[in-house]
Amino acid sequence: MVEKLKRNKQKGFTLIELMIVVAIIGILAAIAIPNYLSYTCKAKQTEAKSNLGAIATCQEAYSAEFDTYSNTLTAIGFKTKGDTRYTYSPGFLTTTTYTATATEKAGTPFGLTNISDQWTMTQDLVLTNTQNTCS
């Protein structure tokens, strides 16, 4: 009789246990996925920050030589390598001021919104995110 009871006892998980595991995985995914998207978006923004800093350095070197800022990237010797997520433009204001701008290229959205990401840097090295896709 004892042997018969042992043979009938099935091994495995109950439906309730499986549902609890699925619910826990769902909760973890609901927390992790938005955080992951936010972190990757912010990581991609480092391209704009880095290249705007390089433009500022090139502008200062150009200004030291010619006593003015330039309104073209080629004149200051700035060039990007590979595929970029942003387009860069030096906004020449006067001989003593400039504003460099990085704008997310159309068709390459990486943020959480539909607006185009945009960064600016002035001659005082003030970096501003005028349109943030990662918020």
pLDDT on residue 41? 84
The answer to whether 133 and 109 have CB atoms below 8 angstroms apart is yes
For 102, half-sphere exposure in the C-beta direction (CA atoms, 13 angstrom radius) is 26
What is the DSSP secondary-structure string of 47-108? HHHHHHHHHHHHHHHHHHHHSS--S-HHHHT----S--SEEEEEEE-SSS-EEEEEEEPTT-
Q: Does pTM surpass 0.85?
A: no
What are the residue boundaries of the structural domains of the chain, listed by start?
14-131
Q: Among all chains, which residue has been given the structure tokens 């003015």?
A: 68
Considering the four listed CATH numbers 1.10.3720.10, 3.40.50.300, 3.30.700.10, 3.40.50.720, the one that applies to the domain covering 14-131 is: 3.30.700.10
Model pLDDT for residues 2-46, shown as the tens digit of each residue: 565 566 666 788 999 999 999 999 999 999 988 888 888 888 889
Evaluate whether 118 touches 109 at the Cβ level (below 8 Å).
Answer: no
- Whether 88 and 78 have beta carbons less than 8 Å apart is answered as yes
- In tens, the pLDDT along 103-131 reads 988 765 555 556 678 899 998 999 998 88
The count of other CB atoms within 10 Å of the CB of residue 121 is 24
Provide the 3-class DSSP secondary structure of residue 27.
helix
pLDDT on residue 28: 93
* Side chain identity at residue 62, one-letter code: Y
Cα–Cα distance, 127 to 108 (Å, whole number): 22
